Structure 1
Amino acid sequence: MGWDGLLPVQRTPPLHGQMTANEALDRLLAGTGLVARKTGPHTYRIRRFSTPRAARAPTLQVHVSKRVEPVPSATGTEIVVTGQKRLQNLARVPMSISVVDLDDIRFFNAAADTRLIARSVDGLALTNLGPGQNRQFIRGVADSPFDGPSQSTVAVQLDNTRLTFDAPDPDLRLVDVDQVEVLKGPQGPLYGSGALGGIYHIVTHKPDLATVSGHMRMTGQAVQHGQITAGGDAVINLPLVNDTLALRAVGYVDHRAGWIDNIGRTADANSAATFGGRLALRWQPDSAWSIDISGILQNVDVADSQYVNTSHESIKREGRIPEPSDSDFKAMAATVQRRMGSVNLLATTSYVTQKISYKLDSSNASPLFGLSGPSRFTDDNRYSLWNTEIRVSPSGNGRWITGLSYMEANTRSHAAIATLADSVVAESMNRKVTEIAVFGEFEIPLSRQFSLTGGARLFQTKEENEAAETIARTTEKIRKTGFSPSASLAWHPTDRNLLYLRYARALRPGGLAPGANDTARRFESDELGTFDLGYRHENRSKTLQLAASAFITTWNDIQSDYLLPNGLVSTRNAGQGRIHGVELSATWQPVEGLKLGGGITYLDAMLVKTQGGAKLDDRRLPVVPKLSGRFEAQYRFTMGTWRALIAGQASYTGHARLSFDENLDRSMGGYAILTTSAALSRDHLTLGLNIDNALNVRGDSFAFGNPFSIMSGRQYTPVQPRTMTLSITRAW
């Protein structure tokens, strides 16, 4: 029996009766976050389940989905999540969490991204301005379709690094990623400011201290009515000092084909090029210490926007001026862990920068800025985020955690409008938010079947905000001391059933935003609370998993980005909202090799009162569909010496509204997408095929593209046409 890394302190239950070694180890390690891997006829090595597997070509013997909560592997391995900042067995977490296994997606689509994840996670919705410009929403907690000064309602997390505060989702390519965890509902106690809707947590593969491994992959992609492009990625894991020091490197290039024709200018105009990489260094000088240092960068260049102004059936737009965008992302992080007796001490610090620049045709708004003729709007945004935390938790289980944190977020933006003859500064913003907090969460066993978990965060935020517009400058400082609690009651009648009731609250601090009439205006803090009643079940043979959740959310003083008459984006408090919702999901393995799964989400998300207190009858919160669903099927089999897999997914996006503003209350959605996939694997070689939107469905995925012309007519963002992706992977 062997162990990699820090030696754990873990109690296990006594065993009685006759059983195989595999069965005995499974029972001993159940609920511990550990798993035993057989390394020889009579030898096993115990690992943490979250310890990443070495880079390899995807093997079709691995299970294909953890999209429904909980879904074990084909061998019955328990799902371990780290989104609550410590190792936890998903089966015992009294919270709604969806987990997507990225090893599955690697079979078919090397360019996995946030949009691909959203199709597999019930309740996760996105805007669709383009790569690097989208906003995420979870369970209807959606404030606006526009990218403005307000803080995001979903915090994007990479391992121990928080990536976003008020920036859009960087849309990192999910290469060499173990899994994505989506924590649903307010996460104020552990994540602080923001996180009203939840957490999007990316868990990467970590350096393997013992094995040299890696892979290289080449891909080709063809879009109907569009281009043919190519890309690739590579991963290498190198132990520098065996069992002590290792390096892991990831690199990728992805060229996305364009399919929108800019009439009179460029065919297939909205092509995109993405390149990036990640380096990770792990040092374990002894069994008690672990040090991780990592860095990541990604650049996304999009040649033109992807909306049209005729109908969602069209892929042509008459554009006078190209509308390119550029998103550059960088992050550095260091984490030190030390086991001291029965507890682990973790200290982590990270620094993130994100630069987003884009250009828009602003000709329709030229007279509003004292200009005449065609004009171009240029917006440059610079985001930085520094986050430091010190946390203590038990080394043997995840029943409690406590810690201190410091966060500093800086945002700078500068926008100008120019014609061939003249230019003006449209607006300039400089915002700094700091937060100091103490937080904790504790599980208290009430009996063998009942437990109570409570969490809280005591924090103080300070915002320094300066807004300079065309003729005015305003500066303001805002301080706020707050308390974000959570509490959940869990009932475990058996180790395969969990019923829980959870309440949690989170808030966003107020700030200063551009307003009408060339003045800056203040928007107040908003606060959101959710009651979540959930149930999870797994049968004894682990071939059937069920999950259900019903939730009620109240949202006061909603911060919402909105369009000014001149096309700029500002922020205001829109009023009071309420969200009622239900989620159902299931996975079933009726016979060996066949797996069926699906989920459905119903959301009634409404703005019920204006900020002035006026009651509203029907004003739906933006972007999120009222009804959405998915169905998935996959079958694994052998063909001679080859292992094969075929799979399909049908996803439905129901009708949604662009905005609760009366002038922009436009419909979108209401379409279904079919994706089919196949893979063949033998030895170190894997061949993959993916056909996205196989039926070439036309639909409006987002009813917005340009803020300067949307008031004069409807805009549509067509669903990407049928797209075929081929990949070949060689591992060692």
Structure 2
Amino acid sequence: MHARGLGTRTIAIAAACGFGSVDAAAASRDRVVLAIPAERLDLTLRQLATQTGQQILFDPATTGRRRTAALHGPIDPDRALRTLLAGTGLVAKRVRAGVIIIVAAPPARVPQARIEVVPPDAEIVVTALKRPTTLGDTEISMDAVTGAQVQMRGAYDLRSAAALLPGLVPIATAPLQQRIAIRGVSGTGESTVGLYYGETPISGPSGTTFDPAASTPDVDLVDVDRIELLRGPQGTLYGASSMGGTLRVLFNQPDATRWSGHVDAGVSAVQGGGIGGNLAAVVNAPIVQDTLAARIVVHRRTVGGYVDNALLGVKDTGGVLRQGVRLGLAWTPSPSLRIDTLALHQDTRIDDAGFWYPDLGRYRNDQPVRTPNRERLDLASVTAHWTTGALAVVATGSHYRWTIVKQGDFTQVLARQATSTASCARHVALTGGAGCTPAQRSAFQAYLQTRLPGLLYQPFRVESSTAEVRVSSDRTGVLGWTIGGFVERRRDSAESYTVRADAATGLRIVPLDITGLRLLHSALDQQAAFAETNWGVTSRLTATLGLRYFHYTRTAYGSVPIPNIITGTGAIGTDRYARADDGTNLKAELAYRLPGETLVYAIAAEGFRPGGVNITPDLSDQERSYDADHVWSYELGAKTRLASDRLALEGALYHIDWADTIYAAWSANGAFGYNRNIGTVRIDGVEAKAVLSIGAVRLTGSANYTDARLGEDQPVDTTDGAGRRGDPLPNVPRLAYAMGVQTSVPVAGGKVATFGVDAVGATRVRTAFNDRSTYYAVTPARFVIDANADIRLAQWRAGIGVRNLLNAVGANRLTSSAFGTRQLYSSAPRTVMLSLDRDF
């Protein structure tokens, strides 16, 4: 695969830094079954990269029209590469684990500044299809960014990384929490986007509203190898909760060939807000040369707050602290076996709500309580890769525990019950009376005032164990296949305290002054078997068929140790409810490779999410449960490279039929949320992306148009009102777009300077189905520009970045409910970031 956009001079500079030639001690000892015919060198290098899962970068002018011999059978990747380069006058240089550049053999070593080698987008090797392919040759709509790109752009979480991944839409739901959507497939319940850290799928806790999708784990993006975004249903290979797509965050693996390390430090300042900073250290340690290695990552990051609460007299709230540690071990006891382990821990805290009220002015809040939130994520996984001459076996086992302590303002919900006859009657019943006379109502209202201001204090916890085994063919013939099985055992618990806060400080009173307490427990058990096959019908036409069978069981129950007479939680019984279902997901695809570098594909694919039960007061038997929802997606896409491979274009058209859509509804008093099926949704969309390299300048542009609408009238109100056929799905932007320019140039003293500007935007969105909703509003359009620059000398890098250069509002979501109206989550004001890092 060749380094489009990296000139000959750039490659030579990178090779002259003394990274060392590729040899048997410097690369993986695993043998790979290769099937590479005698061909031009550039084509054989691309095949070698795909079949070995490495990045092999080169300039087409360097390889020219040289030809090589064929390679067949099991062979060490180092030896294969040396064989291909023999007699060409070219050498391979290893930049880092998995990244190799091909250059002319230098006559001498000349110290130069190091340029971070970033492969062109089309040439990134990905494993989205559970096998290595280059991004430009992967037969689905997807994007990938390397860890080097993440670092250069200053991205550190999913919200900032979304600017690099067209089509990924993070939607704020609460402090520290967000829902992620792809192609407009967004709803409550289980996530519509499968999120993987390494080989582990992670779901949020169900909470009190049985909405795991509202909480997306956000691990700090330190020492990342790449991020892959798969658009459209991935139900065959990835299963439940990938009905809109899949997001994979893949960390750098331990390298048993050499010691290395990285230290990164930075400081940031928010205009009109607080100061932040970050510190991270990475150490890669070969414990047994070429056999056993460890990789340790330690990180801490603070982000300054910028929201002022005049009512409580506090400034610059909404500051975030993220800190954690990660340990990876890689053991290669034989050329055919590799075992990877990962242990991850992260604590995240926010000191207050993080949203503000536009009606009060920019970044101002008058919430009567303070709502700090915190999270703790612990994850452990083991993955074994075993290869034979004909098969590849991957087995993964994972366990994680995710604890969220959520606090939310409950004052308005409680205060609204002052005129509730039902609440008054419950208060009267405490003394053995009945009814609600004017005198009794006054007594109830006096009691209610003693419980204000009020907040919800909710510790949530989810624990999950998953295992997957898949077996694949060597994929060197006309027929390739993968079969496998997956199991998950997930357990959730939620404690929901209604407590009183101190009116002066806004903080919850300790020990807790409890108004009510309810406990909820749920479980989800899933099993699946899947198979996918790829058949090379001709040298240009490939057919893919996939099938996944699934079965799940959802159970839930609750109890109320302390009834809240104001909102009526005592109506929750202690019965245990269960829901089970099974079914299949199908996938069919045709991909055709035109002469040159053009790929055209057509896909029809299914996806689903499990249904469940609601543990909510005063529900009917019909409302107590909800069905699984399901999508059929039809997509036509193309990818091509033109103008001597300096221009890459790709696009897709898609239509999605979404049946039994799961969406949120609220109780009449606005205190309790639950899930229901609202019928059908129709989604039509277009995606386009272009990358143009002109010398050392790289231009990118993308646009995603999504038209998501209800397919039928809703019989009753939901949290977003009573929808009618044709109403747009709330909080889904019709158009989202991104533009960027990046360049690197040598400067005096052997240094290299890199400059970049990125702009992202989206059209305004409705916050409810239509203006008949009590809480209808419009989230404004957003347009945010970021800029970055850095200078590199040998192993050092110093950088400066400016987030939100124009100091725009950058609205993410305007939300209204019984808890509060017109609460705006937005980008931070203009933020300046300085960084300094060094490789070892």
Q: Same fold (TM over 0.5)?
A: yes
Using the alignment, how far apart are the partners of 1:567 and 1:302 within structure 2?
A: 24
What residue is the counterpart of 1:512 in the other structure? 613
Segments of structure 1 that go 5 or more residues without pairing to the other structure are 17-21, 73-77, 145-149
2:551 equivalent to 1:480: no
CA displacement at 1:422 relative to structure 2: 5.5
What residue is the counterpart of 2:653 in the other structure? 550
39-48 or 112-121: which moved more? 39-48
Q: 1:164 to 1:219 in 2, by over 3 A?
A: same
2:489 equivalent to 1:408: yes
Q: 1:93 to 1:27 in 2, by over 3 A?
A: closer
Which of the numbers 226, 231, 234 marks the counterpart of 2:278?
231
Alignment of 1:163-242 (within 5 A): 163-164=202-203, 166=212, 168-242=215-289
TM-score by length of 2: 0.80
Aligned length: 705
2:341 equivalent to 1:260: no
Q: 1:493 to 1:715 in 2, by over 3 A?
A: same
Q: Which amino acid aligns with 2:486?
A: S
Q: 1:726 to 1:562 in 2, by over 3 A?
A: farther
Q: Which amino acid aligns with 1:491?
A: Y
Residue 663 of structure 2 contacts residue 677 of structure 2 at CA under 8 Å; is this kept in 1?
yes
Using the alignment, how far apart are the partners of 2:353 and 2:793 within structure 1?
A: 41
Q: Which amino acid aligns with 1:392?
A: V
Alignment of 1:344-423 (within 5 A): 344-367=392-415, 368=417, 371-372=448-449, 373-395=452-474, 399-419=480-500, 423=514
- Classify the secondary structure of the residue corresponding to 2:159: helix
2:100 equivalent to 1:100: no
Q: 1:312 to 1:15 in 2, by over 3 A?
A: farther
What residue is the counterpart of 2:376 in the other structure? 328
Residue 256 of structure 1 contacts residue 273 of structure 1 at CA under 8 Å; is this kept in 2?
yes
Q: 1:53 to 1:135 in 2, by over 3 A?
A: farther
Task: Give CA-to-partner distance per residue, 1:123-145, whole Å, 9 cap, x none.
Answer: 2111124664111000100115x
Q: 1:385 to 1:730 in 2, by over 3 A?
A: same
Residue 467 of structure 1 contacts residue 513 of structure 1 at CA under 8 Å; is this kept in 2?
no
Q: Which amino acid aligns with 1:720?
A: A
Q: Which has the higher contact order (CA 8 A, sep 6+)?
A: 1
Query: More helix by proportion, 1 or 2?
Result: 2
2:805 equivalent to 1:709: no
- Classify the secondary structure of the residue corresponding to 1:118: helix
357-366 or 267-276: which moved more? 357-366
- Classify the secondary structure of the residue corresponding to 1:26: helix
Using the alignment, how far apart are the partners of 1:556 and 1:605 within structure 2?
A: 13
Q: Which amino acid aligns with 1:436?
A: Q
Q: Which amino acid aligns with 1:328?
A: R
Task: Give CA-to-partner distance per residue, 1:355-410, whole Å, 9 cap, x none.
Answer: 11111221112254764332111112111221101111134569421111111122
Task: Give CA-to-partner distance per residue, 1:307-337, whole Å, 9 cap, x none.
Answer: 2224385111112210111111110000112
CA displacement at 1:496 relative to structure 2: 1.1
Which of the numbers 681, 688, 691 marks the counterpart of 2:792?
681
Q: Which amino acid aligns with 1:80?
A: V
Segments of structure 2 that go 5 or more residues without pairing to the other structure are 1-22, 58-80, 102-111, 205-211, 418-422, 428-447, 502-511, 560-568, 717-721
Using the alignment, how far apart are the partners of 1:513 and 1:278 within structure 2?
A: 37
Which of structures 1 and 2 has the bigger CA Rg?
A: 2
TM-score by length of 1: 0.91
Residue 653 of structure 1 contacts residue 669 of structure 1 at CA under 8 Å; is this kept in 2?
no
CA displacement at 1:436 relative to structure 2: 1.3
Q: Which amino acid aligns with 1:281?
A: L
Using the alignment, how far apart are the partners of 1:95 and 1:302 within structure 2?
A: 38
What residue is the counterpart of 1:724 in the other structure? 832
Task: Give CA-to-partner distance per residue, 1:565-606, whole Å, 9 cap, x none.
Answer: 33332111122101000011100012x110101101111011
What residue is the counterpart of 1:19 in the other structure? none
Residue 123 of structure 1 contacts residue 140 of structure 1 at CA under 8 Å; is this kept in 2?
no
Using the alignment, how far apart are the partners of 1:187 and 1:620 within structure 2?
A: 24
Residue 53 of structure 1 contacts residue 205 of structure 1 at CA under 8 Å; is this kept in 2?
no
Q: 1:30 to 1:518 in 2, by over 3 A?
A: closer
Task: Give CA-to-partner distance per residue, 1:660-708, whole Å, 9 cap, x none.
Answer: 3723332113021011110100111001111010010124321127x54
CA displacement at 1:46 relative to structure 2: 9.8
Using the alignment, how far apart are the partners of 2:99 and 2:462 within structure 1?
A: 30
What residue is the counterpart of 1:499 in the other structure? 600
Q: Which amino acid aligns with 1:257?
A: G
- Classify the secondary structure of the residue corresponding to 1:119: helix
Q: Which amino acid aligns with 1:513?
A: N
Residue 55 of structure 2 contacts residue 100 of structure 2 at CA under 8 Å; is this kept in 1?
no
CA displacement at 1:611 relative to structure 2: 5.0
Using the alignment, how far apart are the partners of 1:620 and 1:396 within structure 2?
A: 44
Task: Give CA-to-partner distance per residue, 1:273-297, whole Å, 9 cap, x none.
Answer: 1101210000001101111111001
- Classify the secondary structure of the residue corresponding to 2:780: strand
Residue 472 of structure 1 contacts residue 518 of structure 1 at CA under 8 Å; is this kept in 2?
no
RMSD: 2.7
What residue is the counterpart of 1:63 in the other structure? 118
Residue 55 of structure 2 contacts residue 124 of structure 2 at CA under 8 Å; is this kept in 1?
no
Which of the numbers 591, 596, 603 marks the counterpart of 2:699?
596
Alignment of 1:435-446 (within 5 A): 435-446=526-537
Using the alignment, how far apart are the partners of 1:318 and 1:281 within structure 2?
A: 49
CA displacement at 1:108 relative to structure 2: 4.4
CA displacement at 1:45 relative to structure 2: 6.0
Residue 312 of structure 1 contacts residue 718 of structure 1 at CA under 8 Å; is this kept in 2?
no
Q: Which amino acid aligns with 1:347?
A: A
Using the alignment, how far apart are the partners of 2:723 and 2:309 within structure 1?
A: 43
Task: Give CA-to-partner distance per residue, 1:9-29, whole Å, 9 cap, x none.
Answer: 01002126xxxxx64752552
Using the alignment, how far apart are the partners of 2:47 and 2:499 within structure 1?
A: 69
What residue is the counterpart of 2:672 in the other structure? 568
Q: Which amino acid aligns with 1:472?
A: I
557-566 or 269-278: which moved more? 557-566
Which of the numbers 327, 333, 339 marks the counterpart of 1:291?
339
Q: 1:99 to 1:576 in 2, by over 3 A?
A: same
2:194 equivalent to 1:158: no
Using the alignment, how far apart are the partners of 1:58 and 1:550 within structure 2?
A: 44
Q: 1:252 to 1:81 in 2, by over 3 A?
A: same
What residue is the counterpart of 2:556 in the other structure? 465
Using the alignment, how far apart are the partners of 1:568 and 1:286 within structure 2?
A: 56
Using the alignment, how far apart are the partners of 1:531 and 1:316 within structure 2?
A: 45
Q: 1:197 to 1:52 in 2, by over 3 A?
A: farther
What residue is the counterpart of 2:684 in the other structure? 580
Q: Which amino acid aligns with 1:580?
A: D
CA displacement at 1:220 relative to structure 2: 0.2
2:29 equivalent to 1:5: yes
What residue is the counterpart of 1:425 in the other structure? 516
Residue 417 of structure 1 contacts residue 423 of structure 1 at CA under 8 Å; is this kept in 2?
yes
Q: 1:312 to 1:659 in 2, by over 3 A?
A: farther
- Classify the secondary structure of the residue corresponding to 1:140: coil
Alignment of 1:579-658 (within 5 A): 579-590=683-694, 592-610=695-713, 612=715, 616-640=724-748, 641-658=750-767
535-544 or 150-159: which moved more? 535-544
Using the alignment, how far apart are the partners of 1:98 and 1:401 within structure 2?
A: 23
618-627 or 269-278: which moved more? 618-627
Q: 1:34 to 1:309 in 2, by over 3 A?
A: closer
Using the alignment, how far apart are the partners of 1:98 and 1:277 within structure 2?
A: 28
CA displacement at 1:228 relative to structure 2: 1.4
Using the alignment, how far apart are the partners of 1:58 and 1:163 within structure 2?
A: 40
What residue is the counterpart of 1:75 in the other structure? none
Q: Which amino acid aligns with 1:578?
A: R
Residue 126 of structure 1 contacts residue 137 of structure 1 at CA under 8 Å; is this kept in 2?
yes
Q: 1:340 to 1:29 in 2, by over 3 A?
A: closer
Alignment of 1:310-329 (within 5 A): 310-311=358-359, 314-329=362-377
CA displacement at 1:715 relative to structure 2: 2.1
Alignment of 1:245-256 (within 5 A): 245-256=292-303
- Classify the secondary structure of the residue corresponding to 1:714: strand
